[in-house]
């Protein structure tokens, strides 16, 4: 194939074997019409190049080659949309050509259906039928070129299998419809031109002669696996290759039938691609929205976890990347509690029962502490540690912790152990006040921790206490007597505190207004 450039457009030059071309008035008129014919699905005729040596027909170059090339290329996958788009565009091009002064094609075949860079069909090699002489190198090539030719044309132009003059016909519109049916078969089945299912190899010559014979039933390409194919398209194909050419539909009716059959489908490939891209981007938007919601959900979860691990003000600072330095708090109050004989109780229960018991108990504790200005520092097994006055200093920290301790004890007294309904749960509670250092420790599992003697003594108040009693230290006792809450406290005596020697302690019994105390 010869290609070139003409006035900035890519062209294909087709050699005409006639060296001394004599153009009649009719031919010149046809050339003028061809130059003026301009339609989306007809390949543009550029002109004739009459060289003293050779004559060329110039037509627009289509970058994707012919439909035949595309169908033969196994790498190219054609989905239903592509196929329908090709079929619909051939119908449009042929309808336009038939309604034009050119009237008919005459050599319609898959090699004359070109596809341009935008996958748009352009029918080519139309017009100038009298001039388009072609001499094929072999008999086989000649018969190959006749595979699209309608039987009535073959009968007119092929006197016998030996005397061939395939270029002597002008063709007809009904013959073009037949050629279209052969192309339809090529598109639908993608098995090559005029595929014949047979054990023996059937040559193009045999096919052409059988079609020419007009034998009944008419000899046509094999159509197998019909179940998988589009029945509407097959019906169109059968009608178009009817032996009786008057029964073949014209392209105008084919075009309207086709568009009403596939009206819901957008058959323009570019529009199709744009719609696909639009759907894709819409999809993306929805996806982004969904993912954002999921992300927010996840963020909430991590926030919840972080806020449950440390005070909100500390978590906020950590989240915004601010370093949280350890801080000294001169006066805070600490609560410790522990379940009496927890180890024995755990030994008599299954691990699941133990977990359930602690879960129920801590839910109750958490509910109580929510109503006080306190911060739950941690739970270690059955031990529970709460502080007041950190991380935000608070004057009435001792009062808050004492009130909370009384409430928790009340809660424990009423607490029911699910798997031991007859057993009473008992706790020891210890309270202390003093200075602590608070800060975040650890990198992978950062924890907000309190350090100092105050914490150790508070723990000691609990461990040396008695069941269902609240033992308070001297320092705490001092702060509590200063409040107006009228706490009832009794002296317990002295206990040994590691590193601090003997210390006087008290039992926090309740409040004066409390019926139980009165
Ligand atoms: N890529 C590309 N290939 C083309 C173009 N025009 C023709 N061809 C190729 O050239 C092959 C032969 O085209 P033609 O010389 O017209 O031969 P034909 O179509 O088989 O027969 P007639 O048109 O009847 O003469 C086609 O099958 C294409 O592969 C074009 O515009 N672009
Ligand atoms: Mg051609």
pLDDT, tens digit, 9 for 90 and up, residues 126-150: 998 877 767 777 888 889 999 999 9
Are 72 and 219 in a shared domain?
A: yes
pLDDT at residue 213 greater than cutoff 70: yes
Cα–Cα distance between 427 and 408 in angstroms, integer? Answer: 9
Q: Are residues 226 and 334 in the same domain?
A: no
Average pLDDT over residues 451-480: 93
CB 492 within 8 A of CB 505: yes
**Closest ligand to 1 CA?**
1
Q: What are phi and psi of 322, to 5 degrees?
A: -80, 135
Q: Is the dihedral angle over the CA atoms 64, 66, 72, 78 positive or is it negative? A: positive
By the 10 Å C-beta count (0-12 exposed, 13-18 middle, 19+ buried), 264 is classed as exposed
Protein residue with least CA distance to atom 26, ligand 1: 111
Residue 465 has pLDDT above 60, yes or no: yes
For the cut 80, the answer to whether the pLDDT of residue 49 exceeds it is yes
Q: How many residues belong to the chain?
A: 518
Rounded to an integer, what distance in angstroms lies between the CA atom of residue 226 and that of residue 249?
Answer: 22
Which pLDDT does position 369 carry in this prediction?
92
Q: 119: buried, middle or exposed (CB in 10 Å: 19+, 13-18, 0-12)?
A: middle
User: In angstroms, rounded to a whole number, what is the distance separating the alpha carbons of residues 177 and 153?
Assistant: 12
* pLDDT, average across residues 367-386: 88
Q: What is the pTM of this model?
A: 0.57
Lowest pLDDT segment from 54-63, 89-98, 434-443: 434-443
Q: Tell whether 168 is covered by a domain.
A: yes
Ligand 1 lined by 376 (C-beta under 6 Å): no
Domain co-membership, 97 together with 192: yes
Our answer on whether the CB atom of 114 is closer than 6 Å to any ligand 1 atom is: yes
| Residue 167 Cβ contacting ligand 1 at under 6 Å | no
What ranges in 101-250 are assigned the alpha helix state H? 139-145, 151-157, 173-189, 204-213, 231-240
Determine the distance separating the centroid of ligand 2 and the alpha carbon of 174, expressed in angstroms: 20
Rounded to the nearest angstrom, the distance between the alpha carbon of 155 and the centre of ligand 2 is: 23
Q: Are residues 94 and 168 both part of a single domain?
A: yes
> Which ligand places an atom closest to the C-alpha of 43?
1
Judge whether 314 lies within some domain.
no
* CA separation for the pair 237, 434 (Å, rounded): 97
For CA atoms 396, 402, 405, 406, the dihedral sign is negative
Going from the Cα of 43 to the center of ligand 2, the distance in angstroms, rounded, reads 11
* 484 in the same domain as 349: yes
Average pLDDT in the chain: 88
Is there a single domain that holds both residue 236 and residue 383? no
- For 370, the enclosing helix (H) or strand (E) is none
Query: Is residue 208, in this structure, part of any structural domain at all?
Result: yes
The ligand placed nearest to the CA atom of residue 106 is: 1
- How many whole angstroms separate alpha carbon 430 and alpha carbon 334? 8
Domain assignment of residue 94, given as a range: 65-267
The ligand that comes nearest to the alpha carbon of residue 67 is: 1
If we measure between CA atoms, which residue out of 469, 456, 455, 474 comes closest to residue 509? 469
Q: How far is the CA of 111 from the centre of ligand 2 (A)?
A: 5
Q: Are residues 433 and 328 in the same domain?
A: yes
**Among residues 297, 386, 373, which one has the least CA distance to residue 336?**
386
Please indicate, yes or no, whether residues 263 and 325 belong to a single structural domain of this protein: no
Residue 518, pLDDT score: 45
| CATH number of the domain enclosing 504 | 3.30.70.1230
From residue 218, alpha-carbon distances to 151, 234, 242 in Å are 10, 16, 8
Confidence of residue 19 (pLDDT cuts 50, 70, 90): low
User: Do 261 and 342 lie in a common domain?
Assistant: no
Strands 9-16 and 2-6: antiparallel
Of residues 275 and 363, more confidence is placed in 363
CATH value at residue 80:
1.10.510.10
Q: Is the pLDDT of residue 234 over 90?
A: yes
Domain C-terminal end among 203, 232, 267: 267
Atom 27 (ligand 1): residue with closest C-alpha?
A: 111
Between the CA of 268 and the centroid of ligand 2 the distance, in Å, is 24
Nearest to 121 by CA among 180, 162, 198, 170: 180
pLDDT value at residue 483:
82
Pocket test for ligand 1, best of 46, 71, 111 (most atoms within 8 A of CB): 111
Instruction: With respect to residue 355, please indicate whether it lies within any of the assigned structural domains.
Output: yes
**Number of Cα atoms under 13 Å in the Cβ half of residue 466:** 8
Judge contact between 102 and 127, C-beta under 8 A.
yes
**CA–centroid distance, residue 18 to ligand 2 (Å):** 17
Residue 448 pLDDT > 60, yes or no? yes
Measured from the CB, is residue 68 less than 6 Å from ligand 1? yes
Q: What is the DSSP letter of 172?
A: -
Does ligand 1 come within 6 angstroms of the Cβ of 111?
yes
How would residue 54 be classed by pLDDT, with cut points 50, 70 and 90? confident
Ligand 1 pocket, 112 CB below 6 A? yes
Instruction: Provide the number of structural domains found in the chain.
Output: 2
Residue nearest to atom 17 of ligand 1 (CA): 111
Task: Please indicate, yes or no, whether residues 227 and 90 belong to a single structural domain of this protein.
Answer: yes
How far does residue 113's CA lie from ligand 1's centre (Å)? 9
**For position 158, what pLDDT does the model report?**
73
pLDDT at 400: 94
- Ligand 1 pocket: which of 5, 9, 45, 65 to mutate (most atoms <8 Å of CB)? 65
What's the CA-to-centroid distance between 133 and ligand 2, angstroms? 12
Single residue among 267, 283, 313 that ends a domain in this structure? 267
Summarize the confidence of residues 190-217 as an average pLDDT.
91
Does any domain span residue 304? no
Secondary structure percentages of the chain, helix, strand, coil, to 5: 40, 20, 35
By the 8 A CB rule, do 103 and 33 touch? no
Alpha-carbon distance 434 to 453, whole Å? 8
122 located within any domain: yes
Q: How far is the CA of 42 from the centre of ligand 2 (A)?
A: 13
Report CA(112)–ligand 1 centroid distance (Å): 6
Q: Same structural domain for residues 371 and 473?
A: yes
Identify whether 50 is part of a domain: no
Identify the residue whose C-alpha is closest to ligand 1 atom 11.
111
The ligand 1 atom at the shortest distance from the C-alpha of residue 69 is 29
Domain assignment of residue 124, yes or no? yes
Q: Tell me: do 472 and 358 sit in the same domain.
A: yes
Helical axes 269-309 vs 312-319, angle rounded to 10°:
140
Rg (CA), the chain: 48
DSSP code string of 81-105:
HHHHHHHHHHHHHHHHHHHSTT---
């Amino acid at each position: 194939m010869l290609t070139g450039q003409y006035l900035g457009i890519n062209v294909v030059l087709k050699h005409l074997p006639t060296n001394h071309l004599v153009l009649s008035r009719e031919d010149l008129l046809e050339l003028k019409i061809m130059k003026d014919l301009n339609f989306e699905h007809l390949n543009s005729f550029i002109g004739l190049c009459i060289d003293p040596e050779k004559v060329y027909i110039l037509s627009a170059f289509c970058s994707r080659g012919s439909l035949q090339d595309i169908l033969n290329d196994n790498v190219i996958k054609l989905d239903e949309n592509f196929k329908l788009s090709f079929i619909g565009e051939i119908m449009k091009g042929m309808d336009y050509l038939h309604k034009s002064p050119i009237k008919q094609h005459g050599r319609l075949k898959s090699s004359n259906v070109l596809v341009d860079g935008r996958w748009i069909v352009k029918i080519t090699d139309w017009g100038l039928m009298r001039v388009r002489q072609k001499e094929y190198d072999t008999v086989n090539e000649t018969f190959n070129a006749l595979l699209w030719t309608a039987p009535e044309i073959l009968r007119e132009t092929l006197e016998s299998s030996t005397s061939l003059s395939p270029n002597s016909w002008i063709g007809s519109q009904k013959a073009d419809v037949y050629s279209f049916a052969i192309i339809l078969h090529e598109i639908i089945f993608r098995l090559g031109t005029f595929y014949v299912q047979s054990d023996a190899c059937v040559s193009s010559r045999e096919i052409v002669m059988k079609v020419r014979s007009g034998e009944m039933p008419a000899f046509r390409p094999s159509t197998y696996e019909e179940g998988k194919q589009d029945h509407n398209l097959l019906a169109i194909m059968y009608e178009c290759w009817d032996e009786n050419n008057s029964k073949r539909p014209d392209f105008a009716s084919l075009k309207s039938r086709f568009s009403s059959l596939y009206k819901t489908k957008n058959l323009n490939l570019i529009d199709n691609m744009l719609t696909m891209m639009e759907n894709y981007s819409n999809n993306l938007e929805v996806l982004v929205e969904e993912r954002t919601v999921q992300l927010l959900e996840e963020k909430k979860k991590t926030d919840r976890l972080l806020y449950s691990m440390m005070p909100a003000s500390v978590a906020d600072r950590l989240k915004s990347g601010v370093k949280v330095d350890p801080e000294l708090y001169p006066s805070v109050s600490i609560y410790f509690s522990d379940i009496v004989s927890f180890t024995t109780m755990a030994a008599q229960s299954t691990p699941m029962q133990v977990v359930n018991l602690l879960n129920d108990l801590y839910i109750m504790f958490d509910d109580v502490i929510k109503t006080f200005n306190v911060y739950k520092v941690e739970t270690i097994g059955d031990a529970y540690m709460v502080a007041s006055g950190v991380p935000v200093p608070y004057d009435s920290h001792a009062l808050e912790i004492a009130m909370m301790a009384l409430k928790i004890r009340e809660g424990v007294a009423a607490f029911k152990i699910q798997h031991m309904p007859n057993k009473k749960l008992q706790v020891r509670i210890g309270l202390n006040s003093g200075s602590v250092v608070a800060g975040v420790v650890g990198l992978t599992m950062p924890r907000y921790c309190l350090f100092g003697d105050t914490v150790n003594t508070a723990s000691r108040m609990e461990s040396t206490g008695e069941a269902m009693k609240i033992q308070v230290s001297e320092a705490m006792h001092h702060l509590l007597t200063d409040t107006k809450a009228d706490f009832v406290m009794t002296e317990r005596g002295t206990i040994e505190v590691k590193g601090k020697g003997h210390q006087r302690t008290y039992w926090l019994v309740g409040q004066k207004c409390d019926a139980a105390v009165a």
